[in-house]
Each structure stands twice: as C-alpha cells, then as structure tokens.
C-alpha cells in the first residue's frame, strides 16, 4: 500500500466529498434509501476503493482481488457511489438506484452485479460469508485479503457470534472485519435497543485482535488496516467510530435519519421540500473548506 502523504490525504478527502454528493443525488433520484449510515461510511469506502483494496474496476472478477463483503446491505448506496467514482460503472447510472431492472438494487444483489461479491440484506450473514472466503483462501494458498463491513446493530444477531467463533477457531488472520460503530439503529440508539458494550472486550474474549480508530481521519483508518495485516494468529476487528450523517452537521448522530432519504426526513431543521437541496449545498461548501484547509 503506498504511503499516505499529505497530497494523498487531500485527494482522499476531496474524493470522499464527491462520493457523498453522488450518494445524496442518487437518494434524491430514488426517493428511497438510507442517509445517516451511508454518509458516515463515505470515508471508509473511499479509503478502501482509492487506497487500500487490491482491485481492478476494468477486471472486477480478477482472481487475486481482495474481497469486500458488505454485511449491512442497507448502506449499499455509498458503496455504489464509491464504485462508480472508482470506474466500475458510469456516474450517471447512480440515478437508477432502486429502480426496476437496475443492477443497483436497494441491497446488493450479486447475480445482477457480481462485483459486489455477495447478496446481502438479512443482517448477521456477512461475517460468515467473509470467514468462509478467508478460510477458502488459506486452503487454496491464496494471498488476497477479505474485508467484511458490518453494522453495530447487527451484533444483535446470533449468527454473527457463530461466525466470530469460527473465524477465531481457524485463526483467519487474512480476515479484517470493520464495524460501523455509529451507535444508532432505526428505532433509537444501540445502547437503548440492545446494549452492546463492552463490545471490544467481547471480541477480545472470543480471541480476536481489536483496533479502535477514527475513520474520518484517513491516517488513523489506513493505519488500522495496516496494523491488521501484521496480526499473524487471529482475525482482526476494526472498531470504526463513525458519525452517522457525517458532513451534514444538522443531522449528525440523529437516529431518525437512519432509514429515510432527503425529502422524507424529520422537518425540525429543513422542510422536506428543501432537504436534498440544502444537503447538496452543505456538501459543495465542504469541498471549498477542504481546499482551503490544505492551502494553508
């Protein structure tokens, strides 16, 4: 992985901003989909597709590619946006999100879009799929790594913990799970719905290596991924403390934005008819702020 120098950090910050803009535009066009979680995960997907993953948009099924499994499939619009910017398909196609016949379904669907690796939607399934890929890679002597993105809310699912035990038993050091620890679910906070803490201690008790990071700092997140590669005897969990709604300050950390698009959200800040317009205005202003910050 290339060194993360200052110019590269600026490039990633600008790209993450562009990805967020494309996300909001696709949600507006769809009039459906999730807002808070995808905004919070934009930096992670940008880091993965533009710095970390060994992949080729022109040859998405190349044999030695890193595998990226998205377990919490409802945040897939942000993955689509990152993939479009990376060159997997034209940016204009993002406007087909959730439409009949599109490959950009509301949850990833592998038959229509093989580059997403797995079909997901039922929460709790992704870690088992990723662990199976990682074990298969070891059995076949393959060097690719497997990354699994999962939500904190899906830790409520029992099959997640079956997969946690499986991965530890087989010492899958080629598996890195990334938990979107944004502390919200559709009906409230995770600690109100079904308390998860101490989540780090739980994974460590199941014989995983755990790294906590601020994923909105590219150096911190990329450093965590690099550290995971140095773990030789066990799988790694990156506990990524994301901010749901990131870059739209008026909705950050508000669980009410978990499952609705701009135009269908709470009206205590922006009326529904103005939400999409205001979100895009804020994100375009963020681009200018990034440019100014790096010019100093």
Q: What angle in degrees, to the nearest 10, is found between the helix axes of 6-30 and 76-86?
A: 120
The model's pLDDT over 213-222, given as tens digits with 9 standing for 90+, comes to: 999 999 999 9
With tokens 């196609």, the residue in question is: 93
How many C-beta neighbours within 10 Å does residue 259 have?
Answer: 18
Do 208 and 200 contact (CB within 8 A), yes or no?
Answer: no
Residue 142 preceded by cis peptide, ω within 30: no
Residue 183, token pair as written in the block: 């502390």
Residue whose pair of structure tokens reads 């993105």 in the numeric block:
149
Q: What is the pLDDT of residues 73-115, one digit of tens each?
A: 999 999 999 999 999 999 999 999 999 999 999 999 999 999 9
Domains and CATH numbers, the chain: 6-295 (3.40.50.970)
Handedness of CA 211, 214, 215, 220 (dihedral sign): negative
The helices-and-strands tally (H runs, E runs) of the chain is 9, 7
Tokens of 10: 């600026």
The predicted-structure confidence for 27-62, as pLDDT tens digits, reads as follows 999 999 999 999 999 999 999 999 999 999 999 999
* pLDDT tier for residue 1 given thresholds of 50, 70 and 90: low
pTM above 0.85, yes or no: yes
């Amino acid at each position: 992985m290339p060194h993360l120098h200052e110019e590269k950090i600026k490039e990633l910050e600008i790209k993450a901003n562009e990805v967020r803009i494309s996300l909001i535009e696709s949600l507006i066009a769809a009039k459906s989909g999730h807002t808070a979680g995808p905004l919070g995960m934009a930096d992670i997907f940008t880091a993965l597709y533009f710095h970390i993953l060994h992949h080729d948009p022109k040859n998405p099924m190349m044999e030695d590619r890193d595998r990226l499994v998205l377990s919490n499939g409802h945040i897939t619009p942000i993955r689509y946006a990152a993939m479009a910017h990376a060159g997997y398909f034209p940016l204009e196609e993002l406007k087909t999100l959730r439409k009949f016949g599109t490959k950009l379904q509301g949850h990833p669907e592998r038959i229509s879009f093989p580059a997403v690796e797995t079909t997901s939607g039922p929460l709790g399934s992704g870690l088992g799929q990723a662990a199976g890929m990682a074990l298969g890679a070891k059995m076949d002597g393959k060097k690719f790594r497997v990354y699994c993105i999962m939500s904190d809310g899906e830790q409520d699912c029992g099959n997640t913990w079956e997969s946690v035990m499986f991965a530890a038993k087989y010492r899958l050091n080629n598996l890195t799970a990334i938990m979107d620890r944004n502390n919200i679910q559709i009906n409230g906070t995770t600690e109100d719905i079904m308390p998860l803490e101490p989540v780090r201690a739980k994974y460590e008790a199941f014989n995983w290596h755990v790294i906590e990071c601020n994923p909105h700092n590219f150096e911190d997140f990329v450093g965590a991924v690099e550290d995971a590669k140095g773990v030789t005897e066990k799988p790694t969990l990156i506990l990524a403390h994301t901010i749901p709604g990131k870059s739209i300050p008026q909705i950050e950390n508000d669980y009410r934005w978990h499952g609705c698009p701009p135009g269908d959200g709470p009206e205590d800040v922006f009326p529904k008819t103005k939400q999409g317009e205001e979100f895009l205005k804020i994100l375009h202003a963020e681009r200018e702020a990034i440019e100014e910050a790096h010019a100093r």
